[in-house]
Structure formats: C-alpha cells, structure tokens
A and B are shown apart, each in its own frame.
Chain A
Amino acid sequence: MKKIFLIIQREYLTRVKKRSFIIMTILGPVLMAATIIIPIYLATQTNELKTVAVLDETGIFNGKFKDTDNIRFHYLTQDINTAKANFTRSGDHALLYIPKTEVTLPNNAIIYSENNVNINVKSHIKNVMSRQLEEMKLQARLRELQGDRENQVSVDDILRSIKTSVDINTLKIGDDGKESKSYTELSMILGMFAGILIYFFIFMFGSQVMRGVIEEKTSRIVEVIVSSVKPFQLMMGKIIGVGLVGLTQFMLWVVLTFIIVTAVTATMTSGSATQTATEQLLKQNQVNIQPEGQQIPVTPQKNGDELTEVMDAIHSVDFPIMIGSFLFFFVVGYLLYAAFFAAIGGAVDSEADTQQFMFPITIPLILSIILAQFIIQDPDGPVAFWLSIFPLTAPVIMMIRIPFGVPFWEVFLSMAILILGFLGTTWLAAKIYRTGILMYGKKITYGELWKWIRYKN
C-alpha cells in the first residue's frame, strides 16, 4: 500500500510540475471565463431604452419601479392573460408579473419576454422588489418592537428576519403567445457540456496513462520497478496518479474560472450596484433605531451568479445530483477507460503502434458524442436508456441525460454496471499489461493479446 502511494505521488508530482500543465491550468480558465463574461459584458453595454410593463396583482409595488436612464416602467391593470396576449404587439421589452399572494408577502415574480431578458433589467427589478419587501418587513418588525421595549433584540436578529430574496423566473413568449420555459435549453447546454467534458477528460488523461506506460517500457525502467512492486500496483498507481492530475486540473479550472468571472463582473457592475448595505447602516445606529422617515438603503443581492441568467435558471436543476453524478461518471468513466489505455501502452513498443488497438476503444466514446444530438432530443427514449446503462457509453450519455431528470433507479443501475465494468476492464487490462511490459520487439496481434489474457498468474 505504501508503495502504490509512492507511485501515485511520483506520477502526480512529475505531471503537475510540467510546464504544459501549468500553461493549461492558466489558459483553460481564461478561455472559459471569457466565454461567460463576454456575453454578459455585451449585455450590460447596451444603452438602448427598454420599456417594461408591470402587472402587479398585489399592489405593493405600484409606483415603486422608478424609471432609470435606460429602463422605463409602465403599469398595467389588465388581467395576466390579456397582458400576455397583447405583449408581442406592445413593443415592450419585458412583462413583469407579480402574482397575488394570500397571506405572505410576495417573493416571486415572472418576467415574460420575447427574447432573453436583459440582465440589467432583471437585476434592477430584483433589487427594487427586495428593497421594497425588506423595507416593509423592517417597518412591521419595528412596530412590533416598539410595543415590547423590555426585550432586547439584537440587530442581527432583525436583519435575519427581514432578509428577503426574490425569485424571478424568466419565461419566453413566442409569437403565438405561448410561453415556454427556457430551461430545456439550459438542460441541453448543461448535459452537452458535461458529456463533452467527460469525453475530453477520458481521452486526454487516458492517453496520458498510455504514454506514461510506453515511456516506462521504451526507457526500459519498467523491469527495475516491477522487481520492487507488482505490475498491477504500478498500473493502478499510474492510473490513479494521472486521474488525480486530471481532477486537480478540473478543480483549478472551476475555481479559477469562478474567481475570474466574479472579479470581472464585480468591476463591471460596481458603478450601478453598490450601495451602502442595510446591515452597515443599522449597525452604525445600533442603540436607537429610528425608522421613521429614514431612508433605508438596500442590500443589493450580490452573489456572483446574480448576473448570469444561466445561473439563475440553474435553480431548476437538481444540483447535488448533477454534481455528484458528474464526479462519479467523470472518475469511474476515466478509471474504466484508463485501464484500456494502460493495457495498450503495455502491449505496444511505441506510440506509432497504438492505432490498431486505440480504434475499437474510441468507438464507443465517439459514438456517444455523435449520438448526443439525438439523445438530447429524446432523453428518455429506449436508445438513451440502453446507452446510459452500457458501461462504455454510460459516462457520456448518462451525463447528457441527467439534467433532464432521470429516475433514481436508472442512475443507480448505470452506476453499478459502470463499477462492474471498471472492475472487469481493469482485471482484463492487468493481464495484458503485466505480460506486455516485459515483451520487446514483438509484433502484437489480437490473437497474441488473447493468449496473454489466458496466461496463469
């Protein structure tokens, strides 16, 4: 066990210290951040005047939406269906609909629009709504407290009780006046993205395993090492070590991309969105709270995701399942294929000889990507089902399906079979590997590989 750890350590450290790893780690997030930031930047740059129709069934927000430099608000009194029907002809950018609530204060709203809603518009609406709601709650709370001067209530408690987050759903209205959730699109993007990521990960790091094995074989160090450790330990150590490199790179990409996006969007919006927080103000006046007549500024709901529509819609996705299953299929899918790659590396003498063996292994992966278009159209069909159960296609296909919602039993079945597949390929690969690494200068055929698999011990 100690030895396999040493091997993992070497495989890991020699790779993360490479210049190519460092360059990839920096370049990746920059590119990914750019693909996120540029659309946002373009969206915030438009100075075009936009009009928003407000249909407030609660009456709370009547007149509260003040016109800004590039947003004009006007209020409707029709019922929602008429408003929606008239929307396309009205020329408005968006229709804000705040449905009536019976008991509680309203904390959600729907924005209808023909195209994507401008991000500035959306965040402005959100700010105004939460400010208004917080103000109302604060005043109610303070009235309560005035009648009850005995009890010391901490400011933090008050703040916690009035903190309000507003949910805004975005719906599209087509020309026919029909609305469609734009989340399907998001599921598609998310599914494709996850599937393609797994595909690249398996290819990139799988072939790194293969090259590593070939390097050990051609440099003839392998025999020295297998006189100290079992070939299986060497193979698994390499697979795990390279896999950890991949995970490290992936994590760094996610974290760095997040940091870059947050930093850039924060500076982009700093002019419009930062105001003194309610918290700060209240803390300054800790002793005597004077609510009457005091302007209470509002905390802009500033989480990095506020600006991105995608992130907003992501609330509709089951996140723990998405992330959990992504990591699972990412890791186990890699392990399954890496065993194949290691076996190929062990069987051949140079990278030039790998072609004939690479081909059958890459077929299921490439097929997964080709079929992805089709799966996305019909994520619950029989083809999608069987391909997400078959272990060689499951990592990519299942990840494409998961954002659309897959029954638990299917996910678990797929995971169980994938683990069995991983054990099977590793067992098979180890047999080829341990014979192959000690074999030089021999033309390897499939018949030969079959012989190796049947050798005892």
Chain B
Amino acid sequence: MILFAADNVTKQYSGHKALDKVSIAVPEGKIFGLLGPNGAGKTTLIRIINQIIAPDEGALMFNGRKLEPGDISAIGYLPEERGLYKKMTVGEQSLYLAQLKGLTHHEALTRLKFWFDKFEIRSWWNRKVEELSKGMQQKVQFLITIIHEPRLLIFDEPFSGFDPINAGLLKEEILAQKEKGATVIFSTHNMASVEELCDDIALINKSKVVLDGSVREIKKKYKTNTYIVSFNSFDKPLESILPPAFQVLSEFSDADHRHATLKLPIDATSNDMIRLLLPHVTIYSVNERIPNMNDIFIQVVTNREVSEN
C-alpha cells in the first residue's frame, strides 16, 4: 500500500522551477530514499510534504486520500537545518514541541520519560540546550521527531553532525521505527547509508525525478555486464585471446594473480567469457561487478548534464 504519493507536483519560485512535475510514491512500512545533488529540489519537496509550503500544481495523497492539514500530527520531521531554543531547558522544550504535535501534556510527559530513560539522557532534563554538545542536541531532536509516534517519518540528512557511534545508534533506531510499522522518507547524500537502509528511492536532479524504483531493481538495471576475473599469470595481452566485442576495462597483477575487469557484449553471459578464457588460463574467481548507488548517482546525474549540454 502506498502511504504517501505526490503526483505531478510543481513549485515555481520567481525565476526558477524548484520542482517540475515531480511524482513519487512511498510504500507503507518501507524506507524511501530521496536522493539528489544540492539544490535539486529535495528540501522543497519535503517542505511540501510537511505542508510548510504549498505546491503550485499537483496532488498530494496521504493514506489513500488527499493530504490534509490535520495529517501534520501523523508526520514527524527532522529538518536538515535543525536546532532548539538555546535558553530553554531540554525538558520544557521537548514537552512544548511534543504538545505542538498534538500530544496532551500528560501523554507527552509519560512518553518523554520513557525515551529519556531509553536513551539514558534523563539527567539532561533540566539542563539548558546551550550546555549540550551538538551530538547531544541531535539526540534530543531525534527523540522529539518520533515522540508522537508518527506514521510517516521524514529525515533530512539525519546523519550529519553525528559521530560514527551515534550515527550507528541512529541507524538502528530508524530501522526499529520501520519494524514498528512506520514509513520513513530519508533524504541524504550519503550513498552508503542508502544501500544499507533504503528499500526504494527517487533521485531528483534539476527539479525532476530522473530515477526511481526499488534499490534492487535499480541496481539490476544499472548492471553493465561487467565481471572481475582472477587468473594465473599469462604472458599475452587478454585482448589477443578475446573477440573485440569483449572490452578489457582494466587489468592489474599482484604477487599471486592477475585481475581483469571485463565488459561483455549485451548478448554474452559469464559462461561465454569463461569458455573463451579456459583454454588459456587457470581461473581462480569470477565476480560480477554490481554498481553501487554511488556509481549510479554519479552516472545518472552527470549523464544528464552531458546529454543536456
């Protein structure tokens, strides 16, 4: 089931289009990655989902019907530009923000106590925010984002500002939220975390969605029929024993073996490649090179720029 969908959303600011007919569909209970270079329009889209700004055109659906102002309480949002009131104590502030999301004072207090114990930050309750380190503040912010148990969580660059230990903790907590049934929209530049966390993605570049789908499908689609073969030393160049349709992308030797990256023609399989090599060399291993999200990101974004210019 699709929890949130944007259909042909356009947002125009004087002079430029921030979003141009953008459509995304976020399945319920999944982690959805919203990717794209700086200034692509991710934050604009996220603000539209949060109803901070309204789109010029296009429809927004939540839970099978039109997105309504009341849905705000079903959404938790951790913005990229985030902060807290410096002069307010952690406790007061958390209570205030939780109540703004629609919790009663009592509910907010009970839940906050639970989470403060869970994160072992109970002692921060009466401290002013300005006394906390940046990492500590981020923890409080994360907690405030999830305190009203929203169905849809939106994290904009959640890992920036976290050290590796806390980033790990955060990652676990995001996955735990997914386990509980929450849907997550997750915007980031960090492609490694996309591969670890995301089920689906949409890549936005220059105000348009240029790539979307499940991570597995996308990776499959971007496979280039390239293999890394390791074999024993062999004194002739590989090109001499392979038909010209087989490209040798790179080759290097270490103390034991030679390793070559081969790009096969579209109709050839790994078996064809092995058959051609077997008469000449001893093969130790064959691995398909699967593109990572980082490569795909760069490829999609730069290709587009090349084709446009």
Contacts and interface: CB of A to CB of B under 8 A. Distances in A.
A220 B100 contact: no
B82 A220 contact: yes
Interface of B: 13-14, 47, 50-54, 56, 72-73, 75, 77-79, 81-88, 96-97, 99-101, 141, 144
B14 A227 contact: no
B145 to A, nearest CB: 8
Given A220-B81, A455-B14, 10 more contacts: A6-B96, A14-B87, A220-B83, A221-B82, A223-B79, A224-B77, A229-B100, A440-B81, A455-B13, A456-B54
A141 interface: no
B268 to A, nearest CB: 52
A223 B84 CA distance: 10
Given A224-B79, A225-B97, A228-B97, A219 B47 contact: no
A302 interface: no
Nearest to A435: B53
Q: What are the 9 tightest A-B residue pairs by CB atom distance, in nearest-first order? A: A220-B83, A228-B100, A219-B83, A457-B54, A223-B79, A227-B77, A227-B50, A220-B81, A221-B83
Given A6-B96, A221-B83, A227-B50, A14 B101 contact: no
Given A227-B72, A228-B101, A438-B52, A221 B144 contact: no
A64 interface: no
B84 A219 contact: yes
B67 to A, nearest CB: 13
Contacts of B72: 227-228
A224 B97 contact: yes
Contacts of A224: 77-79, 82-83, 97, 141, 144
A283 interface: no
A3 interface: yes
A451 interface: yes
Given A438-B52, A456-B56, A457-B54, A225 B100 contact: yes
A248 B144 CA distance: 32
Most interface-central of B52, B79, B85 (chain A CB within 10 A):
B52
A219 B100 contact: no
B47 A438 contact: yes
B90 to A, nearest CB: 13
B54 A219 contact: no
27 contacts: A3-B100, A6-B96, A6-B99, A215-B85, A215-B86, A219-B83, A219-B84, A220-B81, A221-B83, A221-B84, A223-B52, A223-B77, A223-B79, A224-B78, A224-B144, A225-B100, A226-B52, A227-B50, A227-B52, A227-B75, A227-B77, A228-B72, A228-B73, A228-B97, A231-B52, A438-B47, A440-B81
A143 interface: no
A407 B13 CA distance: 50
A315 interface: no
A10 interface: yes
B81 A223 contact: yes
A457 B53 CA distance: 7
Interface in A221-268: 221, 223-229, 231
Contact of B86 (A219, A227, A231): A219
Contacts of B73: 228
Contacts of B50: 226-227
Contacts of B144: 224
Contacts of A457: 53-54
Contacts of A225: 97, 100
Contacts of A220: 79, 81-83
Contact of B82 (A215, A223, A451): A223
A14 B79 contact: no
Contacts of B87: 14
Interface in A1-59: 3, 6-7, 10, 14
Contacts of B88: 14
A57 to B, nearest CB: 69
A440 B82 CA distance: 12
B86 A6 contact: no
A400 to B, nearest CB: 38
A211 to B, nearest CB: 12
A438 B81 CA distance: 9
Nearest to A216: B85
Contacts of A223: 52, 77, 79, 81-82
A96 to B, nearest CB: 61
Nearest to A233: B100
A219 B50 CA distance: 20
Nearest to B156: A223
Nearest to B130: A219
Contacts of B77: 223-224, 227
Contact of A227 (B13, B79, B85, B96): B79
A457 B84 CA distance: 27
B83 to A, nearest CB: 3
A430 to B, nearest CB: 14
Contacts of B56: 456
A216 B73 CA distance: 21
Contacts of B96: 6, 10
Contacts of B47: 438
Interface string A436-456: 001010000000000100011
A224 B144 CA distance: 10
Nearest to A437: B52
Nearest to B104: A2
A174 B75 CA distance: 78
A220, A224, A455 pick with most chain B CB within 10 angstroms? A224
A451 B100 contact: no
B100 A6 contact: yes
Contacts of B141: 224
A7 B81 CA distance: 21
A226 B53 CA distance: 10
Nearest to A451: B14
A456 B86 CA distance: 33
Identify the interface centre among B51, B78, B81, B144: most chain A CB within 10 Å of its CB: B81
A216 B88 CA distance: 12
A451 B52 CA distance: 18
Interface string A51-74: 000000000000000000000000
Nearest to B141: A224
Contacts of B86: 215, 219
B18 to A, nearest CB: 12
B77 to A, nearest CB: 4
A14 B95 CA distance: 14
